[in-house]
Structure 1
């Protein structure tokens, strides 16, 4: 019965990219908290302070920050009204959520259909880190979509490795103009093979990072499983470069679905 239900559910999904089959998906169909079998919450730096000078507290299983409504996952960044902020929130005045897939992959075609927040100070991302991300940037990072609220409609894709990363100013990155990114849903995608990583919006490629074939993990660490991450940061050296507009909060990223396709062979 379970296999019949799964087959019926997958039959409603758009056709897979050529040469791929659907391997994992979340269509966010059941209202309430996200499916705990598919998503966990990254909260580990709440006490010590988040990277990049970010200002948010990342909550776990808090519906104000992550919930499913009417078939859409909502990740919501909020300016909390409590002053001072509770100590168990790390003293942060802002809350949000950082969701991490329980599954991980080492190649494939991965896409999330999403509508982005545009409030100044917001920094939403759809991205990937390896299972053990403690050795960043040596372990690698795949940024499928980043967007900062003070540059509405400009979508970024980036790769970070030991040799190519933003600390050194050597990251491999590109942008694409998506003027209605905050008012309409778009498909943010990555096609990852052993030879290259290609970034797309709505099937249109705009950035490519090639494996140089040297076998050097400093330039190509993308030969191990990576988790998918969905989050909205608040502030930070990039997201907060022009300040945080408290009056614009709360802001939400809405995700219609996430789908992971694997090579058919």
Structure 2
């Protein structure tokens, strides 16, 4: 089991300096912990997570999600790439895997969530992650409300579309969904990028949401900011989602690639074939 130290990434705002990073400070749990998974088991804990299967497709993504140990599995040792153990979300090239809604899918990948298993309102949600290099990869760590979208809100804690020097964050709700005005990019300091281990988190209260990377405040949305556009959709319970998408709307908007796949250049197809489409998650935490 991973060691829990007295200091946690939540204290970084008090101790942070240019030489101290959240990826070097293990997390701890306590009495205020609502949910914690360090993926130290031999497989994904199905009591904590749901796995999305082939009946789900959105955003013109170029993969189909499958419930398989090929796409969702735990790793340790050298395969965990710098941590003791981790969850792996992995995409594969699998031509004509399935036809769904009139589309043939050449890629399979993994998506998990805590819907109806762990729902929370306010607090801190965080995950320590290591992301792959490649234009058109679209991994995300986010939260959705349990009802209809966008009325019950969406919090994008981390989205990455293949430009390694930045990640995006956003809020979606009624009258500010899709091309939401409540969106921001965080550019990493020199010497860091998404392929390093980083902690992506939010601090969520009744009147604001703070987005953080390694304890650094990167963006804040207040209730009045959201209500300038529509109703504040963040007083209801949310569930967490982790996924590795390929191509689709957001990558295409960023890279403009149309072929060989929408949002996925040929160079990234080769990375997927080489087994390099990997997202690693060291741990996920929710605290009050």
1:143 is aligned to 156
Secondary structure in structure 2 of the residue aligned to 1:256: strand
1:160 is aligned to 172
1:76 is aligned to 90
Give how far 1:139 is off: 1.6
Give how far 1:221 is off: 1.1
State whether structure 2 residue 53 is matched by structure 1 residue 43.
yes
Give how far 1:109 is off: 0.8
Mapping for residues 100-249 of structure 1, pairs under 5 Å = 100-101=113-114, 102-132=117-147, 135-149=148-162, 151-166=163-178, 169-178=179-188, 180-212=192-224, 218-240=230-252, 241-242=256-257, 243-244=263-264, 245-249=268-272
Secondary structure in structure 1 of the residue aligned to 2:96: coil
Aligned counterparts of 1:156 and 1:188: Cα–Cα separation in 2: 11
Pairing partner for 1:26 from 37, 44, 48: 37
Aligned counterparts of 1:51 and 1:163: Cα–Cα separation in 2: 20
Pairing partner for 1:96 from 109, 112, 136: 109
Secondary structure in structure 1 of the residue aligned to 2:270: helix
8 Å Cα contact 1:162/1:219 also seen in 2: yes
Point out the structure with the larger helix share.
2
Q: Kindly provide the CA deviation profile for residues 31-64 of structure 1, in whole angstroms up to 9, marking residues without a partner as x.
A: 3x31000100233643xxx22111111011x111
Give how far 1:11 is off: 4.8
**Structure 1 pair 36–165 and aligned structure 2 pair: CA distance change class (3 A):** same
8 Å Cα contact 2:182/2:226 also seen in 1: no
Give how far 1:235 is off: 1.0
Aligned counterparts of 1:214 and 1:227: Cα–Cα separation in 2: 20
**Structure 1 pair 214–122 and aligned structure 2 pair: CA distance change class (3 A):** closer
More displaced 10-residue stretch of structure 1: 116-125 or 222-231: 116-125
2:63 is aligned to 56
8 Å Cα contact 1:212/1:219 also seen in 2: no
Taking only aligned residues, the RMSD between alpha carbons, in angstroms, comes to 2.8
Secondary structure in structure 1 of the residue aligned to 2:219: strand
Unaligned runs of 5+ in 1: 1-7
Unaligned runs of 5+ in 2: 12-29, 77-84, 258-262
